[in-house]
A and B are shown apart, each in its own frame.
Chain A
Amino acid sequence: MAELFQNLYLGFSVAFLPINLFFCFVGVFLGTLVGVLPGLGPAATIALLLPITFSMPPETAIIMIAGIYYGAQYGGSTTSILVNIPGEASSVVTCIDGYQMARRGRAGPALGISALGSFIGGTLSVIGLMLLGPLLARFALKFGPPEYFSLMLLGIVILTFLSKGSMVKSFISAATGLFVGTIGVDTIYGVQRFTYGTLTLMDGIGLVPVAMGLFGVAEVLTNLEQEEVRDIFKTRIRGLLPTREDWKESIGPIIRGAFIGFFLGILPGGGAIMASFTSYATEKRISRRPESFGKGAIAGVAGPETANNAATGGAMIPLLSLGIPSNIIMALLIGAMMIHGIKPSCFLVKEHPQVFWGVIASMYAGNLMLVILNLPMIPLWVRLLKVPYGILFPLILLFCLIGVYTVNGNAYEVLIMVIFGAVGYLMRKAKFDPAPLVFAMVIGPIMETALRQTLLHSRGKFGIFFTRPISAVLICVSLLLLLSPLIPRVGKKRETIVKEASED
């Protein structure tokens, strides 16, 4: 226990350095901004800002990026409630009851409870991260190559299970991503693969151009195809603070949401989307008035909003203790850490305590800033929604172009981004989810090395994945998930979740 306080003291002494506080603020501010603006998500923003972080100390860089991540979860709920457009996939459920509340003139309390719920969820999950993270890191010492491979396989399976559209297509997307990850120099023999002798490809295809192409450029191209009609809900927002009645109805959902979110966030590939849906389903089931859901029940806003923020804390656990990203944002975060020479692994807590505890402590500060930032500034965010797309889209493209160029000062990476922009556009049209591609691309090299090491070790026997207990459990869960769509009831449930999620 004394050790914990000592670590926390270290963390806060890092987080409260003026420079770290400043960049924490920049992170949560930008996160809220892009969360509000549809068409520019946290993935693209982080990719955009990666070059700026090069000159910072690693903990500052990661504090800012983490800020963008949980800031975007806050911002995403604002547009769900006011305009019925989820800024982020994880705030899709908030649309259901949040928008109904807004239509009945209760936009204020809806926004208020989602900000406060987010704060509570975020804070509780940071406490969980603090307690569980180091424990899990110790557990991770038992992980060898087979366990790593199985865990990453499970990550891909969960991500494809949850992604929009058909699972086959998501798997194709993931396999393509794994292939893109093999381009460059082979990690074990040092042989060049698919480089055609070019210097640009020798380093492998960078994460930044691919992520910006698939999420930034492709999104703009898709939006350009149709005339954007955005219906701004005209309402006076007053009384942001929920009444005592509102609190009574939402305190249960908030606490349950925090737990659901945190534990689902830990699962690789799952995270915020699954958390918000599960919370909504739970609240609806145990509510005394389930018929009020969908018609503006405040519990239907409070629960999911708490859950998706709590998931952000949970999602940091596998990253900081195992070095495995649980979603795309975490994959980008790994990219940022590698640039700063930090190899995310189970030794991170020991080797870089200032990063681990500094980031955790900054999340307390960041969550507090977000409440302060969000409650009084909601009218401002709403006005931002009225920026015409005609001005917005060239700026988004410009930032992508600058961002990609400045990473390595290599114009060919601009070309790679443009190509992946076109690929992403076509994937969207053909209903392939681009998220698994990026996720798989990042874990591809780790996964390949783990697989090859395993086979070397076991002399070519695949049985080793089933004889080691941790690996066997992970593989079995993956198989269950893979086969579950064949069971009609589960398959149907997945379909409804996916259907609701893809309406964004």
Chain B
Amino acid sequence: MDRISGGVVFCLGVCILWQGRHLSVGSLHGPGPGFFPVLLAAVLMILSLFLILPKGKKEENSSFFSGSVKRVLMMFVALLFYFALLEFLGFLIVSILFMAFSFIAIAYYRWYSALLWAFVSIGLTYLLFEVLLKSNLPKGVFGF
């Protein structure tokens, strides 16, 4: 487990070096824009070795994911959809869909109580943010 996360961290360090290769490092006398990122990448790579190298210790064989990973994935995808559709459909429609989905698919409410909760919660938040605080929530192609 630790070895995998150490590997990920090492890769992160390599990525920083690669993506920052055009930034000038400068010298110790006059460190340039690339100086600090390179330093950090080096620190990350050295630290990751502390996770990768130690061996012999027997890892307890508990799986990384326990319980319902499906729900986590579904929730994550729903959040991505929320981002993708937000400016197209507007705050009201996307949020009601999002809430209804969360209540039905993830919290297992019956569809009618889920819809009720979705409308009530969105109505109240709309009142609070758009009407009272004038936050300018996005409007979609339908104009609301």
Contact = CB atoms under 8 A, between A and B. Distances in A.
B31 A452 contact: yes
Contacts of B36: 178, 182, 448, 451-452
A221 B74 CA distance: 10
Nearest to B77: A418
Contacts of A425: 72
B43 to A, nearest CB: 5
Interface in B105-140: 106-109, 117, 121-122, 125, 129, 133, 135-138
A411 B86 contact: yes
Interface in B61-98: 64-69, 71-72, 75-76, 79-80, 82-83, 86-87, 91, 95, 98
Contact of A429 (B2, B29, B44, B64): B64
Contacts of A401: 79, 82, 95, 98
Given A168-B47, A186-B33, A405 B86 contact: yes
A168 B53 CA distance: 13
Given A193-B37, A421-B76, A225 B69 contact: yes
A169 B30 CA distance: 31
Nearest to B48: A172
Contacts of B138: 405, 409, 411
Contact of B40 (A175, A227, A391): A175
A409 B136 contact: yes
A169 B19 CA distance: 23
A159 B59 CA distance: 27
B79 A460 contact: no
Interface stretch (A29-37, A357-365, A392-400): A392-400
Contacts, number: 159
B19 A194 contact: yes
A398 B68 contact: no
> For chain A, which range describes its interface: under 10, 10 to 19, 20 to 34, or 35 or more residues?
35 or more
B33 A220 contact: no
A402 B40 contact: no
B144 interface: no
A414 B83 contact: yes
Given A402-B125, A405-B86, A394 B33 contact: no
Nearest to B16: A179
Given A221-B72, A224-B68, A430-B5, A193 B102 contact: no
B12 interface: yes
Contacts of A188: 33
A175 B47 contact: yes
Given A182-B40, A225-B66, A460-B28, A402 B129 contact: yes
B99 A398 contact: yes
B14 interface: no
B121 A226 contact: no
Contacts of A226: 66-68
A282 interface: no
Contact of A189 (B20, B33, B50): B33
Contacts of B87: 411
A52 interface: yes
A418 B80 contact: yes
Given A172-B9, A225-B71, A455-B31, A430 B47 contact: no
A182 B135 contact: no
Contacts of A411: 83, 86-87, 138
A418 B103 contact: no
Interface string A71-96: 00000000000000000000000000
Contact of A51 (B29, B75, B135): B135
B86 A414 contact: yes
Given A179-B16, A430-B1, A418 B79 contact: yes
B120 to A, nearest CB: 10
A390 B108 contact: yes
B136 A193 contact: no
Contact of A221 (B4, B76, B129): B76
Interface string A41-66: 00000000001100000000000000
Contacts of B109: 390
15 contacts: A178-B36, A178-B40, A179-B16, A182-B37, A188-B33, A193-B20, A194-B19, A224-B68, A225-B66, A418-B76, A418-B79, A451-B36, A452-B31, A452-B35, A459-B29
Interface of B: 1-2, 4-5, 9, 12, 16, 19-20, 23, 27-37, 40-41, 43-44, 47-48, 50-51, 64-69, 71-72, 75-76, 79-80, 82-83, 86-87, 91, 95, 98-99, 102-103, 106-109, 117, 121-122, 125, 129, 133, 135-138
Interface of A: 51-52, 168-169, 171-172, 175-176, 178-179, 182, 186, 188-189, 191, 193-194, 217, 220-221, 224-227, 389-391, 393-395, 397-399, 401-402, 405-406, 409, 411, 414-415, 418, 421-422, 425, 429-430, 432, 448, 451-452, 455-456, 459-461
Given A226-B66, A393-B102, A397-B75, 18 more contacts: A168-B50, A172-B44, A178-B36, A179-B37, A182-B37, A221-B75, A224-B72, A225-B68, A226-B68, A394-B121, A401-B98, A402-B125, A405-B86, A405-B137, A414-B86, A430-B4, A451-B36, A455-B31
